[in-house]
Amino acid sequence: MQRYLMNFSTETMRTKRAELLVIGSGVAGLQAAWTAARAGCHVLLVVRDTLWDSNTNKAQGGIAASFGEDDNPELHVQDTLVAGAGLSDEQITRIVTSEGPDDIRRLIEHGAKFDRNADGTLALGREGCHSRSRIVHAKGDATGAEVARALNDMAAGEEKIEVLEHCYVVDLLTEAGRCYGVTALQAGEKICLRAGAVILATGGCGRLFAKTTNPEGATGSGTAMAYRAGAEVMDMEFVQFHPTALALAGCPNFLISEAVRGAGALLRNLRGDRFMPRYHKMAELAPRDVVARCIFQEMQQENADHVWLDARSIGRASQKFPMIARTCREYGVDIDAQMIPIAPAAHYMMGGVKTDAWGRTNLDGLYACGEAACTGLQGANRLASNSLLEGLVFGRRSAKAAVQALKTQPRVPALEWTYGGLHMAEQQKTAACTQQVQETMSRFLGIRRDRNGIRQALQLLQKLEAQQVGTEAATAAGFDLRGRLLLARLIAQAALRREESRGAHFRTDYPEKQERWLQHFTDCSIEEGQSIEGKGENAHGYDVQSGQAAFGMA
């Protein structure tokens, strides 16, 4: 594996310095930047495109939190553990469910406007695998946009936050197990961004797949660069496929929120028959992995490319979900009068850079939060609307930990890298290779997997990786391709190793859960059939209390 993707010398590159570097402008990155700035830290917020280009801005369903009179954090914990299929860390889950409501209240205090009932209380929706109505939402189906707006306004009010847009981060700068900043590409120029600590909030990797609800920037670049730098990654085999993405020729894979099913929409096959009650007692509100597999099976049985989501029974669905209704209308579907054609699409990465309860990685000075991180909360299958909540909680926590650590500034070494025999990659070949990665992942590492398919995927990915050796891709697309290839291989290796079906990871050759696999894995190099003894860690292996004591934070 090539350590750095481009030649550089920090002595000669244009350099920009800050106390804290935050990479990414989704909910986790904005929360981290704001928290650190409020603590008096000079923050450089680095964004690949613009502040508004993030998964957060696209999020529809809402934020899960126990605000209802019949609800409490412990009930939220239990629902999260059920959805996580045995791999959600209980202590981490309690931190998120207990601290999250205060983070939402803080957003409201700073101007976030969520939907309310006539008596002024928060209007709470219901989504899959939740035992209570606890989904806080805005404008029906535009929650992420409202959260992003509020956080952007909060960040704009902080003089200590400096924003650097249209800047593609290429690699983390490390020496002797410590992170000192990053190399980046801006307007074709190689630059160096120096900081005492770096927080990765770069989002997920849905764009590894041909069909995804994620925006263009969701390529997993942050997770890939962390792995190249020596950071541990965990749970890479667990990629969640959202059950209901709009499935019409020529239209994007637009997400149809789970809240639509929570409001009463039904899933029907092409014959018009409702099918979910045949598969699960919770029917349309079963865990996402279950619903996605059932839809996939119905599609296979009918040799179809979609099933139907019937929102007609909701009554005035277009008023409750205006953004969804508007998008469907653009493609000729009236959700009040017609059924919506839907199919599963890659949606969320449960795995990522392994962190502790304060966002710390195994590299000094490097923190991670949001979808790029793996805290142990999501387990094998994320509970609906827990992602924005996790981003708020761990954006704040990672910032607090980073600011505390900055009290002792490290000596910054000069670093350089020269990779011999470089030649430039051709843009046309980069685009073709990117498409091959997406087709390979969708075909062999989608909703259903098996040994033969995963092995074929690994062979193809390794061949594509070998073709990139000795090239320097001086564009964001070229660097992204390197990250995609690495991340795709890590996912495939992890999927081959886990010889069972759990949560979003379903092996047709090992269709049942097995107790011996009730653990997380950080060693992505384990070969198939190799003993797993000593290679993983218990599903509840985080020492959360020691993390709290070390920082003196409640």
Tokens 């998008």 belong to which residue? 327
The DSSP output letter for 370 is G
**Are residues 276 and 294 in contact, defined by beta-carbon separation less than 8 angstroms?**
yes
**Are residues 359 and 368 in contact, defined by beta-carbon separation less than 8 angstroms?**
yes
How buried is residue 332: exposed, middle or buried, by Cβ count under 10 Å (0-12/13-18/19+)? exposed
Strands 43-46 and 14-23: parallel
Cα 230 to Cα 472: distance, rounded to the nearest angstrom: 21
Q: Is 405 helix (H, G, I), strand (E, B) or coil?
A: helix
Cα 35 to Cα 43: distance, rounded to the nearest angstrom: 10
Alpha carbon of 365 to those of 37, 200, 404, 406: distances in Å? Answer: 17, 11, 11, 9
**Are residues 213 and 201 in contact, defined by beta-carbon separation less than 8 angstroms?**
no
Which tokens is 333 given? 């579907």
How buried is residue 150: exposed, middle or buried, by Cβ count under 10 Å (0-12/13-18/19+)? buried
Cα 64 to Cα 71: distance, rounded to the nearest angstrom: 11
Residue 107 half-sphere exposure, CB side, CA atoms within 13 Å?
Answer: 30
Query: ∠ at Cα 388 (69, 520), nearest 5°?
Result: 105
Residue 116: strand pairing partners: 122
What are φ and ψ of residue 503, in 5° steps? 60, -130
Which tokens is 245 given? 């993405």
Which residues are CB-neighbours of 70 under 8 A, at least 6 positions away? 132
Chain-centre distance of CA 370, in angstroms? 6
Residues catalogued as catalytic: 288
Query: ∠ at Cα 275 (287, 443), nearest 5°?
Result: 65
**Are residues 400 and 550 in contact, defined by beta-carbon separation less than 8 angstroms?**
no
What are φ and ψ of residue 440, in 5° steps? -65, -45
The DSSP output letter for 488 is H
Cα 82 to Cα 473: distance, rounded to the nearest angstrom: 44
Chain-centre distance of CA 92, in angstroms? 17
Which tokens is 84 given? 């996580």
Helices assigned H by DSSP within 406-475: 427-444, 451-468
